[in-house]
């Protein structure tokens, strides 16, 4: 069975407009475990929500079995969801304290993607750049139903409306997908502050250049800031290399 070593980099930037960074990330390269969370803009304490997710997952003791690992991550997200709802209920006025989240677990030759909301996970493999997650947004639902074209989604009036988030509803549904890792696979987890500024082909071009994940990450953030840079920008880049078992 193939085993892999990983090199990764995690970077975040508040952006050019906001004063608070509501994004948070977790980089556990030695465990093959990465997380990006994006506190819901316009809601109270988005940074509290994203930090709560990252802090809970940072304390997680990962078991040896992949199925148990997935269950434990999902259970942790449900616990955070319940805690955020309780926190919001205790405040003076009706509010939501929520966050998106995207998780990548790389275990032996399997990559597991878990996500809620519109933070994304991409993969660059042999020059082919693919989005592995599907946004939980109103416009994505319209795209899937054929009501609008994918290229119309970004400028649609409902482009910022998220249909699922940790802390938003009493029941939390986490999407889970699997991928077989190949040597050289290059994964990107990011908050929407990146992909709303840069097109997929622009991101792929940077990731395809020679360089380290940190160099690529810095270039991506600088490119996003050179545009509007309206939102917080957070990304994690993780690249695989095969090792002898």
pLDDT tens, per residue, the chain with 245 residues:
447 999 999 999 999 988 899 999 999 999 999 999 999 855 568 899 999 999 999 999 999 999 999 999 999 999 999 999 999 888 867 778 999 999 999 999 999 999 999 999 999 999 999 999 999 886 666 656 655 666 555 655 555 678 899 999 999 999 999 999 999 999 999 999 999 999 999 999 999 999 999 999 999 999 999 998 789 999 999 999 877 54
Enumerate the H helices of 157-212 as residue ranges. Answer: 192-195, 200-208
CA 139 to CA 152: how far, in whole Å?
A: 9
**Cα gap 223→216, rounded to integer Å:** 11
Is the four-CA dihedral 130, 134, 140, 144 of positive or negative sign? Answer: positive
- Provide the pLDDT for residue 42: 56
Give the whole-angstrom CA distance, residue 54 versus residue 76.
10
Count Cβ atoms below 10 Å from residue 200 Cβ, excluding itself.
Answer: 13
Q: Give the predicted TM-score (pTM) of the model.
A: 0.92
Nearest to 125 by CA among 184, 84, 167: 184
Tokens 């109270």, located at residue: 44
d(CA 129, CA 208): 9
């Amino acid at each position: 069975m193939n085993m892999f070593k990983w090199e990764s980099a995690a970077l975040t930037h508040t952006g050019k407009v906001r004063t608070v960074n509501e994004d948070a990330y977790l980089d556990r390269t030695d465990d093959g475990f990465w997380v990006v969370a994006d506190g819901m803009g316009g809601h109270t304490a988005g940074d509290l929500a994203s930090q709560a997710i990252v802090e809970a997952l940072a304390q997680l003791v990962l078991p040896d079995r992949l199925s148990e690992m997935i269950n434990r991550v999902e259970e942790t997200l449900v616990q955070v969801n319940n805690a955020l709802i309780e926190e919001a209920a205790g405040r003076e006025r009706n509010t939501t304290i929520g966050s998106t989240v995207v998780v990548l677990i790389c275990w032996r030759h399997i990559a597991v993607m878990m996500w809620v909301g519109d933070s994304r996970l991409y993969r660059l493999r042999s020059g082919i750049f693919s989005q592995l997650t599907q946004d939980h947004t109103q416009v994505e639902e319209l795209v899937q139903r054929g009501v609008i074209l994918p290229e119309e989604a970004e400028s649609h009036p409902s482009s910022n409306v998220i249909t699922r988030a940790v802390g938003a509803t009493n029941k939390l549904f986490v999407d889970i997908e699997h991928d077989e890792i190949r040597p050289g696979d290059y994964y990107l987890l990011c908050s929407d502050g990146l992909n709303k500024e840069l097109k997929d082909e622009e991101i792929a071009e940077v990731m395809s250049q020679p360089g380290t994940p940190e160099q690529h990450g810095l270039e991506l953030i600088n490119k996003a800031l050179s545009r509007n840079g309206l939102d917080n920008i957070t990304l994690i880049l993780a690249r695989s290399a095969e090792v002898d078992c």
